[in-house]
Amino acid sequence: MSKYKALKEECFEANMQLPKLELVIYTFGNVSAIDRDLGVFAIKPSGVPYTSLKAEDMVIVDLENNVVDGKLRPSSDTKTHSYLYREWEEIGGICHTHSTYAVSWAQSQKDVPILGTTHADYLATDIPCAPPMNDALIAGDYEHNTGRQILDCFRDKNLNHREVEMILVGNHAPFTWGSDAAEAVFNSKILEEICRMAYITLSINPDAHRLPESLIRKHYERKHGKNAYYGQK
Amino acid sequence: MSKYKALKEECFEANMQLPKLELVIYTFGNVSAIDRDLGVFAIKPSGVPYTSLKAEDMVIVDLENNVVDGKLRPSSDTKTHSYLYREWEEIGGICHTHSTYAVSWAQSQKDVPILGTTHADYLATDIPCAPPMNDALIAGDYEHNTGRQILDCFRDKNLNHREVEMILVGNHAPFTWGSDAAEAVFNSKILEEICRMAYITLSINPDAHRLPESLIRKHYERKHGKNAYYGQK
Amino acid sequence: MSKYKALKEECFEANMQLPKLELVIYTFGNVSAIDRDLGVFAIKPSGVPYTSLKAEDMVIVDLENNVVDGKLRPSSDTKTHSYLYREWEEIGGICHTHSTYAVSWAQSQKDVPILGTTHADYLATDIPCAPPMNDALIAGDYEHNTGRQILDCFRDKNLNHREVEMILVGNHAPFTWGSDAAEAVFNSKILEEICRMAYITLSINPDAHRLPESLIRKHYERKHGKNAYYGQK
Amino acid sequence: MSKYKALKEECFEANMQLPKLELVIYTFGNVSAIDRDLGVFAIKPSGVPYTSLKAEDMVIVDLENNVVDGKLRPSSDTKTHSYLYREWEEIGGICHTHSTYAVSWAQSQKDVPILGTTHADYLATDIPCAPPMNDALIAGDYEHNTGRQILDCFRDKNLNHREVEMILVGNHAPFTWGSDAAEAVFNSKILEEICRMAYITLSINPDAHRLPESLIRKHYERKHGKNAYYGQK
């Protein structure tokens, strides 16, 4: 077990950020962290409240969804996580919440339009909302198919998962990812704030315009482009 | 008195969750817990602020609304609690709040449509809003009749109180219940969050669709069905 | 000075509730408390932030607005307080805030309709919004005239200040009062919550109905009527 | 370095107010403070989270944007700050946030109408929203041009920067200023609250009227006019 200790710790710390950032209540949500060398990821156990969660409770699962280590049952969303880890080899962490504003946009089944620089600082497109699954997908391997639905949406919209690290699943809730679990959680908080601002903006002005492409590129590139000058690196 | 000590403690702890969960201010709301063997329930005393509430203040009442133990007057809503306990023998706790979003839906006199999986994780139908009472019922035994109004609504809409553990009373506020007082409080918090999300969703998209039946059953069954795989049991 | 010590303490404690209850930021708002025997009231000094406020800073003013005791200048709204104290002999405390939802209703220049029992538990009518003052009143003794505007509104709408302990002044903000300063503050918090619920209710259902008179009387009387049975008295 | 110690401290303290006042998350926003005698200003380093910020991290920059002291890269918005300091010689501090309601108004590209006395207590006009920059300005020296856009807006609307200490930049976010860094931050919080109230007001009543000029002058003058009687000075 000791070889999974660091991975469990990373996963635990990231999960514990969710209630602190007011992205979850009770047992809502889950974060995972992958160790690509070991070929396994740590994930929150299913239905355990954050108030009693411990690092040793994290469940170690391989990419075929077999529990490798841990006494508890892994998150019911485990197959969605493993699907994304298999398909997207560069990502190191995944976060799923039921945060209020992101869920509300997911329930509205609308992409979140890029209305300002707060949004453009993190991604250069609307935040995609994958359509709800059809009945056959729901009746099948549901959580596996949630991953598939996310990939299909990225393919249909021609999005790059390294540039767009968040999605809303229609009728359901957001998933975000990043280079590690902490970054995945960070993206969930950013997403929630962008969703809240977009909701208020469109209440003030239903005809608010998307950002012009020039300003999108400017803000995105100054943080993420070749000549980025935001931050200390 | 010692034979009611545990019941009073359970009731007190559940009541004290209400301000912590931001479901009440001042003296709003009340929670009760029943001991079926003793045939009595403990309930918050009327009009006492949570900041000065003590476990020994809980009032013990029998199912005919007689105070059996306690120095204080029980909640003015006591007859609604006893009505539900008499009619629904499986429930162990009841919670009544005036939480912001649930009250707002009650005041709007609309059922809360099932718009997403956050909702379907807890119940498989819209959240019912019982119609306001007519003048005769109001002028009669008001709190008793509130219980009757709830039962009538469940009968009219063909709902099962073991599957739907929450209701809005039109023009008034929510009531929730569960296997014990803590679960009743839990359901009040979940209700508040669902109400908030539904409000924002319909502000973003007034034409947002109810969840398809397939997805409702999927999410409800994975937590509450025979083959449930959410959680640790 | 010692004869004003208790009055200053009461006034200070009530003022300090305002930031705790999230009804003010910085120097917004003010509370006063009157001693009818001494014929003076204590009031918050003008423009002093709550974070540095001390009980001894409270200013003692008589009913003709003369400062009787204290080193600081009294609230710029002092003349509104004295006006109300002179006209309404039964009240013991007055509270003025710029709380978010109450101000928003005041700015909308609409009475807050009585939409539910949360409202009816405290007053049996819509919450009145006094019309904004005309230019002559504004150019005159403004704060004095604010008091006059409040009295005029109560007379025009045939309201009783012992039954309705709150008002919105159009374009401005709320004033509330009560038997003492603590009750005046309590009414400001209740008002804010009612305003918030009414706003959300009408967003969900713009056609939401006012409460029927029977239910208004029922809820109001069970707390405030001759045969009241809410609370411990 | 010791000669910049006080300036760095002032700047640091002002920056640390932003998360406390809930105006920023993570690394959002930045505050600067100028020493006119030394001809330099201190500003938050770029991309450093508030949780790990230290006074010694503040970067000292001259009015031509040269780093004079400090190991870190200054805020990416530094050129906007220096532009404003050069043009407006009386200001001592500048604050930039991405607070929720102010950003939402900026994204809606609307001036915030003066709807009540809370607004008039701080400025006597609508809060200006500068139009988004055109593509040439964005492609040019973007942050420099943001300052220019602010000045152009003030000139076009004939506003005085000593009377109006806040602006929204369309599609982007607010900038505020004041006699020192603390006052700039204060204005950002006031702005956020005014924006929130205006949003709710117009949701309640889309036809809410701007304040009459008489009331605007009354409230503004009683705080800021020659015969001001608000506060202790």
B85 is catalytic: no
Given a cut of 60, whether residue A80 has pLDDT beyond it is yes
Given a cut of 90, whether residue D32 has pLDDT beyond it is yes
Given a cut of 80, whether residue B1 has pLDDT beyond it is no
d(CA D16, CA B95): 41
| pLDDT value at residue D31 | 98
d(CA D49, CA D24): 10
Q: Which of D72, D23, D20 is nearest to D51 (CA)?
A: D20
Tokens at residue D182, please? 């603390």
Q: Is A205 on the interface with D (CB under 8 A)?
A: yes
Return averaged pLDDT per consecutive 10 residues of chain C, 233 residues in all: 91 98 97 98 98 97 98 97 98 98 98 97 97 93 97 98 97 98 98 98 97 92 90 86
CB pair distance less than 8 Å for B222 and A76:
yes
Instruction: Chain C: give the shortest CA distance to residue D103, in Å.
Output: 18
Given a cut of 80, whether residue D147 has pLDDT beyond it is yes
Q: Is C200 on the interface with D (CB under 8 A)?
A: no
Radius of gyration of the CA atoms of chain B, in A: 18
Contacts of residues B12-16 at CB distance under 8 Å and 24 or more positions apart, as own/partner, are B12/B42, B12/B53, B12/B54, B12/B55, B12/B57, B12/B58, B13/B55, B13/B181, B13/B182, B14/B93, B14/B95, B14/B181, B14/B182, B14/B184, B14/B185, B15/B44, B15/B50, B15/B53, B15/B58, B16/B50, B16/B53
Residue pLDDT, tens place only, C184-198 = 999 999 999 999 999
Residue B155 CB contacts under 8 Å (≥ 6 apart), including other chains: none
In the DSSP assignment, the letter for residue A204 is: H
Q: Which chain A residues are within 8 Å of B211, Cβ to Cβ?
A: 132, 171
Residue pLDDT, tens place only, A129-185 = 999 999 999 999 999 999 999 999 999 999 999 999 999 999 999 999 999 999 999
| pLDDT value at residue A2 | 79
Q: Which chain A residues are within 8 Å of B198, Cβ to Cβ?
A: 107
B83 is catalytic: no
Q: Is A38 on the interface with B (CB under 8 A)?
A: no
Beta bridge partners of D93: D33, D178
Report helix, strand or coil for C69. strand
Tokens at residue B170, please? 């039109």
Residue pLDDT, tens place only, C85-117 = 999 999 999 999 999 999 999 999 999 999 999
> Do residues C77 and C96 touch, judged by C-beta distance below 8 A?
yes
> Top-level CATH class of B2-224?
alpha beta
Q: Which chain D residues are within 8 Å of C202, Cβ to Cβ?
A: 204
Q: Is B203 on the interface with A (CB under 8 A)?
A: yes
> Do residues B55 and B7 touch, judged by C-beta distance below 8 A?
no
d(CA B75, CA B104): 23
| pLDDT value at residue A233 | 76
Instruction: Chain B: give the shortest CA distance to residue A155, in Å.
Output: 24
Tokens at residue C174, please? 């709320």
Report helix, strand or coil for A203. helix
CB pair distance less than 8 Å for A100 and B208:
no
Tokens at residue A29, please? 């949500």
Report helix, strand or coil for D33. strand
C-alpha distance from residue B183 to each of B20, B95, B118, D142, D169 (Å):
15, 9, 17, 55, 48
State the average pLDDT over residues A39-45. Answer: 98
Given a cut of 80, whether residue D137 has pLDDT beyond it is yes
Q: Which of C226, C106, C85, C75 is nearest to C168 (CA)?
A: C106
d(CA C68, CA C1): 10
Q: Is C24 on the interface with D (CB under 8 A)?
A: no
State the average pLDDT over residues B102-106. Answer: 98
Each residue of C136-149: b (16+ CB within 10 Å) or e?
ebbeeebbbbbbbb
Smallest Cβ–Cβ distance between D200 and the set C133, C171, C199 belongs to C199
Domain ranges of chain B: 2-224
Report helix, strand or coil for D102. helix
Q: Is B208 on the interface with A (CB under 8 A)?
A: yes
d(CA B27, CA B73): 14
Given a cut of 80, whether residue B19 has pLDDT beyond it is yes
Amino acid symbol at C149: Q
Tokens at residue D181, please? 């860094």
What are chain A's partners, defined as 3 or more CB pairs within 8 angstroms? B, D
Beta bridge partners of B208: none
Tokens at residue C91, please? 């009240």
Helices (H) and strands (E) in chain C, counts: 8, 8
Give residues 209 to 228 of A whose Cβ lies within 8 Å of D: 209, 211-212, 214-215, 218, 222
| pLDDT value at residue D60 | 98
Cβ–Cβ pairs < 8 A, chains A and B = 83
Q: What is the dihedral of CA B181, B182, B188, B190, to 10 degrees?
A: -150
- Res. B166 pLDDT band, cuts 50 70 90: very high
Smallest Cβ–Cβ distance between B215 and the set A47, A103, A132 belongs to A132
d(CA A113, CA A126): 5
Amino acid symbol at C180: D
Residue with tokens 């926003």: D29
Each residue of A73-97: b (16+ CB within 10 Å) or e?
bbbbbbbbbbbbbeebeebbbbbbb
Instruction: Chain A: give the shortest CA distance to residue B184, in Å.
Output: 14
Of the residues C44, C73, C104, the best mutation for testing chain D's interface (the one with the most D CB atoms within 10 Å of its CB) is C104
CB pair distance less than 8 Å for A139 and B200:
no
Q: What is the dihedral of CA A133, A139, A144, A149, to 10 degrees?
A: -10
Tokens at residue A125, please? 């497109």
Residues present in chain C in total = 233
Q: Which chain A residues are within 8 Å of D108, Cβ to Cβ?
A: 201, 204-205, 208
Instruction: Chain A: give the shortest CA distance to residue D110, in Å.
Output: 8
Q: What residue in D sits closest to C72 (Cα-Cα)? A: D232
> Do residues B173 and B105 touch, judged by C-beta distance below 8 A?
no
Given a cut of 70, whether residue A53 has pLDDT beyond it is yes
Residue pLDDT, tens place only, D47-80 = 999 999 999 999 999 999 999 999 999 999 999 9
